[in-house]
Structure 1
Amino acid sequence: MTTNPTTPLLELKHVSTIVNAHTPNETKILNDLNLEIFPGDFITVLGANGAGKSTLFNVIGGNLNADQGDVLLHGKSIKHESEEQRTRFLARVFQDPKLGTAPRMTVAENLLLAAHRGQQRRLVFRQLRRHLADFKAMAATMNNNLENRLSTATGDLSGGQRQALSFLMAVESKPELLLLDEHTAALDPKTSQQLMQATNDRIASDRLTCLMITHRLEDALIYGNRLIVLTDGKITFDVRGEAKKQLTREQLFTFFEDL
């Protein structure tokens, strides 16, 4: 589909999610939240624990239904679509390196599986060998020796290599929307930095639209063209472009001082 950069790719309109509904303990995790995501946006998402960041991703990804409001893709409601249906346009990388990969399958087999994300499944010969050169080149972009472990069972990889594989699987089919759910949080600082740089390079080269949850203020400042802050289920700060470039760590820290 041809997209207009001035027209939202995805919209959340007055979205609320409610737990313990109709009881004295009723709580809105997302509270009348509105968000427009435009093609090419790379949005870093900040917020304290319990602010609603993961719930936001779950509503976008279809893991959780919005109790109120609507979710629109190219102007059409997808509120009632399942998580599986949304894989046609969306991919997600989680914080835990063990999620998103099949541990008993090799690196190459996982990449082949990801190549068919969102497609109708049918019985065909997998033709793995003819993909190996492409998979090797793809894995080499991660700069962590993953290209030399294509025949290794994924469960035998290091945490950093397995998370790199999860990222490659997510972006292999160039999804319209990529969700990165603290995908470097479980890694050591050096491995985290390597993955973040590879992430940024791939998003730029493939012109992907991406939301990335992070607790690292430095990453929120360095990466992306846009930054949003969630507080009590609402977006309380939304900045992009040159205004984002002028932000400092101290300014961002003020959003957390009274929490």
Structure 2
Amino acid sequence: MTEAILKLEEVSTLVNRGTAQETQILKNLDLTIQAGDFITVVGTNGAGKSTLFNVLAGNLRVDAGHLKHNGQDITRMSEEQRTHFLSRVFQDPKLGTAPRMTVAENLLLAEKRGQHRFLKPRHLKSRLAEFAQLTAVMHNGLEERLLTPTEELSGGQRQALSFLMATLKRPDILLLDEHTAALDPKTSAQLMQTTNERIQKEHLTALMITHQIDDALQYGNRLLVLKDGQIIADLQGEAKQKLRREELVQYFA
């Protein structure tokens, strides 16, 4: 069997350390992720979903255990260093883009993710046709607004741009942190479908937090259920395909 692309070994985290409110969130959590996995992550509020993503992204250090990327220990690796192989799309469309920069400028910026940046000519005009083709796959008119400041886009267009920016460099790990939750139902469904298409086409490895039970069932090859900082179900392959909505809801009882 090939080396796991990402592995968590007995990972634990504490918040409010040293105070009366000290709480353990993740509790000796083990998780092995193979290249190409598309994992939907569900659980009640406080189950540890966002904490898990913060640990993976490196903006929350673990108190015990280890994280490994392609066999290399990255437990103490900084958030900035992890941008070389990991991207994240947040729930809030405003968090993934530079508001005063145009769509095209944001895409240019995304091309330099995880790299040192220098002052040099942008050659932006020569890239517009390429960026138009890239944004057209989102099916929301983004290709017609390449020279529009991002702050003037609709929420759906801005989130679509965030998703494109996160996947432009084909990261080893893509974290989708309820990335459709702030959108209206129609826009959410459209972005979710496009998300799945791009993940499949580019053979990306992705984890997606969602509160939409139907999305958790429909998308991905694995489904994780978190409760009280632990994985209480890891459903894969046929087990996930056969899982019914009523059965999944029982995990929240």
Question: How high is the TM-score relative to the length of structure 1?
Answer: 0.95
Q: Give the aligned partner of residue 53 of structure 1.
A: 49
* TM alignment of 1:24-173, pairs within 5 A: 24-173=20-169
SS in 2 for 1:195: helix
1:178-230 Cα distance to aligned partner (Å, 9 max, x none): 00000000000000000000000000000000000000000000000000010
Q: Give the aligned partner of residue 247 of structure 2.
A: 251
Q: Which runs of 4+ in 1 moved over 4 A?
A: none
Q: Give the aligned partner of residue 205 of structure 1.
A: 201
Supply the distance in 2 between the matched residues of 1:169 and 1:205 (Cα, whole angstroms): 16
Supply the distance in 1 between the matched residues of 2:99 and 2:141 (Cα, whole angstroms): 18
Distance 1:22 1:104, change over 3 A: closer
Supply the distance in 2 between the matched residues of 1:23 and 1:165 (Cα, whole angstroms): 41
1:53-74 Cα distance to aligned partner (Å, 9 max, x none): 0000000000100011111111
| Residue 222 of structure 2 is aligned to residue 226 of structure 1 | yes
* Per-residue deviation, 1:23: 4.5
Supply the distance in 2 between the matched residues of 1:184 and 1:195 (Cα, whole angstroms): 7
* Per-residue deviation, 1:43: 0.2
**After alignment, is 73-82 or 166-175 more displaced?**
73-82
Name structure 2 gaps, 5 residues minimum. none
* Per-residue deviation, 1:79: 1.0
* Per-residue deviation, 1:40: 0.2
Alignment length, in residue pairs? 253
Supply the distance in 1 between the matched residues of 2:21 and 2:138 (Cα, whole angstroms): 46
Correspondent of 2:4 among 5, 8, 11: 8
Correspondent of 2:13 among 7, 11, 17: 17
Question: How high is the TM-score relative to the length of structure 2?
Answer: 0.98
Supply the distance in 1 between the matched residues of 2:7 and 2:118 (Cα, whole angstroms): 33
**After alignment, is 23-32 or 60-69 more displaced?**
23-32
| Residue 173 of structure 2 is aligned to residue 177 of structure 1 | yes
Correspondent of 1:193 among 168, 189, 205: 189
Let me know the Cα RMSD of the aligned residues: 1.0
User: Letter of the aligned partner of 1:143 in structure 2?
Assistant: H
User: Letter of the aligned partner of 1:115 in structure 2?
Assistant: E
SS in 1 for 2:46: coil
SS in 1 for 2:67: strand
Q: Give the aligned partner of residue 239 of structure 1.
A: 235
Supply the distance in 1 between the matched residues of 2:141 and 2:20 (Cα, whole angstroms): 54
Supply the distance in 1 between the matched residues of 2:119 and 2:148 (Cα, whole angstroms): 25
User: Letter of the aligned partner of 1:172 in structure 2?
Assistant: L
Name structure 1 gaps, 5 residues minimum. none
Supply the distance in 1 between the matched residues of 2:150 and 2:31 (Cα, whole angstroms): 36
1:152-186 Cα distance to aligned partner (Å, 9 max, x none): 00000000000000000000111111000000000
Supply the distance in 2 between the matched residues of 1:17 and 1:60 (Cα, whole angstroms): 12
SS in 1 for 2:156: helix
